């Protein structure tokens, strides 16, 4: 997976105007390489990783931490990501907050959950705190957060 992503760039830090869709694949086995490619800016300008099951929430958090400093991804869709039967931990919500405050490249981000009987694809109430990072964000033009159970506070 990481080899594929690294071949999508001309050189690290210079994204090609290209879309890569990896939705519904099993990224767990090569997650370290995948996260390293994101962190090293070896990514196309659009990356779609919808409906990924993160068996360990830490893997999703590592992806968010890499995205925080990524300077090549302009459009990122990680909607319907499964973090298990529980809402995202405070650490994961803090990582998302850091993406909002520190990333200066993202223009489109989709972190929507899924409307289903078993709502396993959601951040939960902790997303409200993460969203406060938007106060410092100057580049994001579109944010999709459908089906995340933000509650009245959200």
Q: Which domain holds residue 8?
A: 2-144
The whole-angstrom separation of Cα 112 and Cα 78 is 8
Question: Looking at residues 128-146, what average pLDDT do you find?
Answer: 93
The whole-angstrom separation of Cα 119 and Cα 127 is 15
Answer yes or no: is 154 within a domain: no
What pLDDT is stored for residue 11 in this prediction? 62
Question: Looking at residues 45-50, what average pLDDT do you find?
Answer: 94
Answer yes or no: is 152 within a domain: no
Task: For the beta carbon of residue 29, count every other beta carbon within 10 angstroms.
Answer: 9
Answer yes or no: is 87 within a domain: yes
Answer yes or no: is 19 within a domain: yes
- Cite the DSSP H helix spans in 2-154: 2-6, 31-39, 57-69, 90-102, 127-131
From 24-28, 34-38, 47-51, the region with the lowest mean pLDDT: 24-28
Answer yes or no: is 98 within a domain: yes
Q: For position 98, which CATH number holds?
A: 3.80.10.10
What pLDDT is stored for residue 36 in this prediction? 92
Answer yes or no: is 133 within a domain: yes
Q: How many domains does the chain have?
A: 1
Answer yes or no: is 149 within a domain: no
What is the pTM assigned to this prediction? 0.85
Please state at what angle helix 31-39 crosses helix 57-69, rounded to 10 degrees.
Answer: 20
Question: Looking at residues 23-41, what average pLDDT do you find?
Answer: 89
pLDDT tens per residue, range 55-85:
888 999 999 999 999 999 999 999 988 876 6
Answer yes or no: is 15 within a domain: yes
CB 59 within 8 A of CB 91: no
């Amino acid at each position: 997976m990481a080899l594929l992503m690294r071949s999508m760039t001309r050189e690290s830090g210079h994204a090609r105007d290209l879309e890569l869709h990896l939705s519904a694949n099993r990224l767990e086995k090569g997650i370290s390489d995948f996260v390293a490619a994101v962190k090293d800016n070896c990514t196309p300008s659009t990356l779609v990783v919808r409906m990924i099951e993160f068996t360990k929430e830490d893997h999703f958090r590592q992806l968010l931490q890499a995205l925080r400093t990524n300077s090549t991804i302009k459009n990122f869709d990680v909607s319907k990501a499964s973090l298990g039967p529980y809402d995202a931990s405070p650490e994961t919500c803090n990582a998302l907050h850091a993406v909002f405050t520190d990333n200066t490249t993202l223009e489109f981000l989709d972190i929507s959950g899924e409307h289903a009987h078993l709502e396993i694809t959601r951040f939960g109430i902790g997303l409200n705190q993460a969203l406060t990072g938007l106060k410092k964000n100057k580049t994001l033009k579109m944010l999709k957060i459908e089906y995340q159970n933000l509650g009245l506070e959200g």
